[in-house]
Structure 1
Amino acid sequence: MTPPYSAAGAPVAPAHLPSIAEQVNRVPTEPGCYLWKDAKGEVIYVGKAKNLRARMRQYVTLQDDRAKIPLMMQVVRGFDYVVVGSEHEALVLERNLIAQYHPYFNVDFKDDKSYPYIAVTESDVYPAIKYTRERHRKGTRYFGPYTDAKAARETIDTLRKAVPICIGTCAEWKRARRYLNSHPDDIPVANMVLAKRGRPCFDYHVGRGPGVCCGEIDTVEYARHVDQVEKFLGGKRSQIVDELQDQMREAAQNLEFERAGRIKRRLDVIAGLDDRQEVMFSSDVSIDLIGFYREETISAACVFVVREGRTIRSSEFVLNKGMDVDRVELAEGFLKRYYDETADVPQEVDLACELPDEPLLEEWLGEKRGHVCRIHHPVRGEKAHLLKMAESNARHALNRYMVRTGYADDRTNQALLQLESALALDRPPLRIECFDISTLHGTFTVASMVVFTNGRPDKGQYRRFKIRAELDEANDFQSMEEVLGRRYGEKNMADERFAERAPDLLVVDGGKPQLTAAMNQLSALGLNIPVCGLAKSDEEVFVPWDETPVVLPSGSASLYLIKQVRDESHRFAITFHRELRTKAQSVSILDEVDGVGPKRKRAIMRAFGSMKRLRAATEEQIAAVKGVPPEVARAVWETLRAWDDEAAGVAAAAAGDGAPDGNPGAGVAD
């Protein structure tokens, strides 16, 4: 759904909002949570506020500058709110409401599946460890979530080699639990009965079970095993090692060499596990480092869990929001969801961006941890390095998800169909060509042509054009007419290196003037190619058949595709322009100075050795070169200053394109 826009391009309030605004005026000014609803009464967004009325007014008056707000308020038809006692209570309630309703406009996991956990059934007389996807049973402690089910199962297997403990799937443990639960008043007697009647399970024989099923261990000793298991899962492995070493020495002193040997093998298991893990910090820090990677409407998060200075695991999550929300909202939404799911809260959480509610989030995390938890933003050192690694892993996780689910293909097909409908095309634009002009005050004017085939860059079809017209100043319209005339002229239209047919859609970078120039040139050539212009400021699409621009929905596949096409053409054009300017600067800048011929040029370059040193020289230093008069030295100096000023202007104009230079397979067109 497209949000309404005024003639000036600013969002305007939908007609139904005044009645909602009147209702908002009666909302209390206390802390709480608000729930926006659509026409069906379904909750589409949940938020918290220190002052409910003031925060909700920002929505109905569209003073909230987030891109999704106009679209969201277009479908809002009502709301509910819940008043609480403090902002902290509002944060907890907000997370519970999001978990209950899964609103469309809130940041959440992309798939609503339950993630694996490792659980310890603490309410049992002899607690067992188990792999599970549920995390709501009372009396059970959960560790996770894990996003790799295989890794969770392997962790249980390795842990039981180090510390023998019953597993929840063992039939003999289940039988023993039923018997113990039926005799809660006399556990020692029940243990004696199990010792007489019980059948040892297979795990007991191979050293992974402690022998609950056959009465070989009492509750005190078993509780010690459970405590070690929970410390192990919580990352406190040094404490386990110290305890096992004490037990091994004690057994050796008592001449219990068989028991000492079993403990030694358990220590070897833990040592082998530590050898496989990279030591990232010199101190025993407890940190979660969270990196994000965003696409247009989807993103991924990677959590590196560091305990005692070692990365004990990493978990990757795919989220249902991407660049359609800002990175602060994405990070804050993920933090609330992730730490609501896990009981393992560290002493520090590291993120790349600062959050407005950090003190409140730190209070909430500290309450869950039972101790202080800080949110930190490293910019250098070991933490910053590991945070970059987390971001890289998030990117790979998102790519794997998109390949596995066919998300990219589905979204590309959706984008082509949306463009066909929005731009009134005869067929989906399977071949899109886009042109952009890059110049510096009319010098080194170039044009780029990028091609997208079936919604993807077709770099072998890219072309670069040097504008031949003599221009005293920048003239994008004349340049656009020239490049379209050359591209769609009879010669190149018949050249198979360009294409076997005309494009299904021609995109020009710019608004109505650039679109008009393109239409005039196509008309002069007698061609009927669908064409549109994309203005960068408001991302409006101008079409020939309507004075009002088409506004593609924010976050839609079609808007993402056409922006990608436009941005790629801009990157390609400015890359070519920079190549020409760099070449000219290094070769012929002195040729433009009156009074500098080949002999003086050689003398100047011999004196300074490089253009970098010459550009840093003063007028007096240039005049000191033998054979260079003062007036010529001044002319050289002024020319160099003019070139530097123009270069600074180009760099400022190009800042933010962020794209890598170069493009294999593209050529300079005739």
Structure 2
Amino acid sequence: MPSLAEQVARVPTDPGCYLWRDAAGEVIYVGKAKNLRARMKQYVTLTDDREKIPLMMQVVASFDYLVVDSEHEALVLERNLIAQYHPYFNVDFKDDKSYPFIAITKGDLFPAIKYTREKHRPGTRYFGPYTDSRAARDTIDTLRKVIPICSATCTEWKGVRRLVEKHPEDTDVINLICAQKGRPCFDYHVGRGPGVCAGAVTPEEYRASVRRVERFLSGHRSEVVRELREDMAAAAADLDFERASRIKRRLEVIAGLDDRQQVVFPSSVDIDLIGFYREETIAGACVFCVREGRTVRSSEFILNKGLDVSQEELTEGFLKRYYDETADIPAEVNVAIDLEDAELLGEWLTGKRGRVARIHRPQRGEKRHLLDTCERNARHALMRHMVRTGYADDRTNQALLQLESALALPAPPLRIECFDISTLHGSFTVASMVVFTNGRADKSQYRRFKIRAELTEANDFVSMQEVLGRRYAPERMEDERFGSRPDLLVVDGGKPQLSAALTQLKVLGLDIPVCGLAKSDEEVFVPWDDTPVVLPTGSASLYLIKQVRDESHRFAITFHRELRDKAMTVSVLDEVPGVGPTRKRAIMRHFGSMKRLRAAGVEDIAAVKGVSADVAQAVYDTLRATE
């Protein structure tokens, strides 16, 4: 049988969609391409630089592809295939629950409004999705106070619907039949129903109300308000003051609704802003819907991909899923990054909207500020989900068990200690020790060391031996302030650092499991095998050990910079005439850091107690000269 690469070589160069399948025939990924052969070749040759591709291609056994006429058709087909197969490696909602929508049954003679979680049906227009079901129900309740429209749950409306279905040839006289035989529903008596059941409204009048409802749900309330004011004026001119009073109450409902909604733009703009926050294999998304300058709705979603895919892939995947399900398309969708397919997505949205729509990346101003707020809300949504589902605990337990297996440890590494060296050509050499207890950073156990060895150049081998000798010396092992013996010792680096650690532990007579984590390719070096262990991309174990390594690096760099800045401060101020130890302490106490002192003007330095104007000028000139 030909290999995958040989099969891909026979794929046409037309635009279309490809489906990667596993050994069981299940679709695990769906993608689109302008050139099918060129795009699929990137997968089988592993020239696609996305982290998930090597892992995915390990389980790919076969593929299918579908050819279309244009890249735009490929985009639409891709979304349909993802909705059909829900592939594991595609971005999708984390939970497979259905989200609430507000729907208008446009296929009926008298369309009704309803709250629903149903799969989208032809002939029905959907607004949403809403992630707050109460907000969706409240919106329907408020809307029916403003524009009377039938509810799909109304028994009398269902009776009229059955009558129309039974006698489709009599639609012209259905209104008369209802007037003669119908019974007014309760909603009609309280002003929330138009009276379809009693023949009180013609199909033409009802369709005008439906158009108002659609504009209202799309956020275009100014048009609705204008029409209602015209109706109120006409009713008053006809001396129909009761009807004018009803319309006035409806306008007051809209005014009260506007008072509760935040005005975010002075102009009447229609935009969506979408922010994301990612963890290792999960992400939160928040959508702010701004219509006529007001935030009319915000929705939050949890996605099944996070740091294991690129920000661009996550963003595009969400846009396709979200706007495939909603009819409420704005003129502009704001996201935090530039998208390669932004123009294509804009064309797709334009086709759905019927007017021009585009994807935009704001970089400053009110839109950028609101997008930052979206990202903060996405973070809070994700944190709430993780707490509610115990996600963090599950991932931590999974990571510890995976490390136990991959590194052949006697038990899960409940206490991990990691060391890193930071130096500048042998000067200001320091070491950091960070501790993770039960998979979480235990900052009370962090320690930092100044390397005492006289070094003329950087020597991580000697530095690592020294710090491990000091940390695991008998007196330190008995010191409660240093905590208990670790289950796993991690050194930042490859074989040289691992060899230094093993040599020092042998001198101390300690048998502590140890590994070295190389910065390139994230390879884990172990004492019992010359071949490094490669933890699976996107796995909980790799994420944890990288987190430990990065934290030790951050802690070492911070200490190194502190020492270097202090030394630079001393050396620079020592060169200033008239600045002795007392004035030096006063200056540094006043500014707190070298960065603030360098940013200070002559007058700011002269404000320090005991520093004259001449000395302040000398300090300022010396600092400028050293720059």
Decide: shared fold, TM above 0.5: yes
**What residue identity is the alignment partner of 2:404?**
E
Secondary structure of 2:168's counterpart equals coil
Q: For the structure 1 residues 377 and 627, does the alpha-carbon distance in structure 2 shift closer, same or farther, using more than 3 Å as the test?
A: closer
Match of 2:567 among 579, 584, 598: 584
Q: Is the 8 A contact 1:130 1:169 kept in 2?
A: yes
Q: Aligned residue for 2:414?
A: 430
Gaps of 5+ in 1: 1-15, 618-624, 645-670
1:558 is aligned to 2:547:
no
Q: Is the 8 A contact 1:135 1:142 kept in 2?
A: no
Q: Aligned residue for 1:540?
A: 523
Q: Aligned residue for 1:229?
A: 213
Note the alpha carbon deviations across 1:83-115, whole angstroms, 9 max, x for none: 111111111111111111111111111122221
Q: Aligned residue for 2:115?
A: 131
Match of 1:332 among 316, 335, 339: 316
Note the alpha carbon deviations across 1:166-203, whole angstroms, 9 max, x for none: 11112222123222332333346443443344333332
Note the alpha carbon deviations across 1:350-386, whole angstroms, 9 max, x for none: 1121111222222211111111111111111111111
1:153 is aligned to 2:137:
yes
Q: Aligned residue for 1:97?
A: 81
Please give the residue correspondences for 1:638-657 in structure 2 after superposition, counting only pairs within 5 Å: 641=626
Q: Is the 8 A contact 1:118 1:129 kept in 2?
A: yes
Q: Aligned residue for 2:604?
A: none
* Cα distance in 2, alignment partners of residues 252 and 529 from structure 1: 90
Note the alpha carbon deviations across 1:448-476, whole angstroms, 9 max, x for none: 21111111111222222222233333222
**What residue identity is the alignment partner of 2:332?**
E
Q: Aligned residue for 2:553?
A: 570
Secondary structure of 2:229's counterpart equals helix
Q: Percent identity?
A: 74
Return the offset for 1:521: 1.2
**What residue identity is the alignment partner of 1:496?**
E
Return the offset for 1:49: 1.4
Q: For the structure 1 residues 616 and 231, does the alpha-carbon distance in structure 2 shift closer, same or farther, using more than 3 Å as the test?
A: closer
Q: Aligned residue for 1:54?
A: 38
Q: Is the 8 A contact 1:117 1:135 kept in 2?
A: no
Secondary structure of 1:186's counterpart equals helix
Q: Aligned residue for 2:383?
A: 399
Q: For the structure 1 residues 614 and 412, does the alpha-carbon distance in structure 2 shift closer, same or farther, using more than 3 Å as the test?
A: closer
* Cα distance in 2, alignment partners of residues 99 and 65 from structure 1: 26
**What residue identity is the alignment partner of 1:67?**
E
Q: Is the 8 A contact 2:415 2:438 kept in 1?
A: yes
Q: For the structure 1 residues 613 and 355, does the alpha-carbon distance in structure 2 shift closer, same or farther, using more than 3 Å as the test?
A: closer
Q: For the structure 1 residues 401 and 600, does the alpha-carbon distance in structure 2 shift closer, same or farther, using more than 3 Å as the test?
A: closer
Match of 2:7 among 23, 26, 32: 23
Please give the residue correspondences for 1:362-373 in structure 2 after superposition, counting only pairs within 5 Å: 362-373=346-357
Note the alpha carbon deviations across 1:368-416, whole angstroms, 9 max, x for none: 1111111111111111111111111111111111111111111111111
Match of 1:549 among 520, 527, 532: 532
* Cα distance in 2, alignment partners of residues 520 and 369 from structure 1: 68
Note the alpha carbon deviations across 1:219-249, whole angstroms, 9 max, x for none: 2222222111111001110000001111111
**What residue identity is the alignment partner of 2:475?**
K
Secondary structure of 1:335's counterpart equals helix
* Cα distance in 1, alignment partners of residues 120 and 37 from structure 2: 35
Q: For the structure 1 residues 472 and 54, does the alpha-carbon distance in structure 2 shift closer, same or farther, using more than 3 Å as the test?
A: same
Comparing 168-177 with 86-95, greater Cα deviation is found at 168-177
Q: For the structure 1 residues 139 and 615, does the alpha-carbon distance in structure 2 shift closer, same or farther, using more than 3 Å as the test?
A: closer
Return the offset for 1:581: 2.6
Q: Is the 8 A contact 2:275 2:335 kept in 1?
A: yes
Note the alpha carbon deviations across 1:137-157, whole angstroms, 9 max, x for none: 221111111122121111111
Q: Is the 8 A contact 2:598 2:623 kept in 1?
A: no
Q: For the structure 1 residues 613 and 571, does the alpha-carbon distance in structure 2 shift closer, same or farther, using more than 3 Å as the test?
A: closer
Please give the residue correspondences for 1:177-216 in structure 2 after superposition, counting only pairs within 5 Å: 177-187=161-171, 189-216=173-200
Please give the residue correspondences for 1:58-137 in structure 2 after superposition, counting only pairs within 5 Å: 58-137=42-121
Q: Is the 8 A contact 1:615 1:640 kept in 2?
A: no
Note the alpha carbon deviations across 1:427-458, whole angstroms, 9 max, x for none: 11111111112222323222221111111111
Note the alpha carbon deviations across 1:316-368, whole angstroms, 9 max, x for none: 22111111111111111111111111122111111121111222222211111
1:257 is aligned to 2:212:
no
Q: For the structure 1 residues 639 and 185, does the alpha-carbon distance in structure 2 shift closer, same or farther, using more than 3 Å as the test?
A: closer
* Cα distance in 2, alignment partners of residues 556 and 537 from structure 1: 17
Please give the residue correspondences for 1:218-367 in structure 2 after superposition, counting only pairs within 5 Å: 218-367=202-351
* Cα distance in 2, alignment partners of residues 490 and 458 from structure 1: 22
**What residue identity is the alignment partner of 1:412?**
T
Match of 2:471 among 487, 496, 500: 487
Q: For the structure 1 residues 459 and 600, does the alpha-carbon distance in structure 2 shift closer, same or farther, using more than 3 Å as the test?
A: closer
Return the offset for 1:213: 2.4
Q: Is the 8 A contact 1:590 1:601 kept in 2?
A: no
**What residue identity is the alignment partner of 1:457?**
A
Please give the residue correspondences for 1:158-169 in structure 2 after superposition, counting only pairs within 5 Å: 158-169=142-153
Secondary structure of 1:47's counterpart equals strand
1:39 is aligned to 2:39:
no
Q: For the structure 1 residues 164 and 21, does the alpha-carbon distance in structure 2 shift closer, same or farther, using more than 3 Å as the test?
A: same
Q: Aligned residue for 1:650?
A: none
**What residue identity is the alignment partner of 2:123?**
G
Q: Aligned residue for 1:6?
A: none
Return the offset for 1:271: 0.8
* Cα distance in 2, alignment partners of residues 567 and 450 from structure 1: 10
Gaps of 5+ in 2: 601-611
Return the offset for 1:503: 0.9
**What residue identity is the alignment partner of 1:255?**
L
Return the offset for 1:482: 1.8
Please give the residue correspondences for 1:383-462 in structure 2 after superposition, counting only pairs within 5 Å: 383-462=367-446
* Aligned-pair Cα RMSD in Å: 2.8
Note the alpha carbon deviations across 1:526-579, whole angstroms, 9 max, x for none: 111111111112111111111111110000000001111111111122222222
Secondary structure of 1:532's counterpart equals strand
**What residue identity is the alignment partner of 2:491?**
V
**What residue identity is the alignment partner of 2:345?**
L
Secondary structure of 1:439's counterpart equals strand
* Cα distance in 2, alignment partners of residues 341 and 287 from structure 1: 17
Secondary structure of 1:408's counterpart equals helix
Q: Aligned residue for 2:511?
A: 528
Secondary structure of 1:346's counterpart equals coil
Note the alpha carbon deviations across 1:267-302, whole angstroms, 9 max, x for none: 111111111111111221111111111111111221
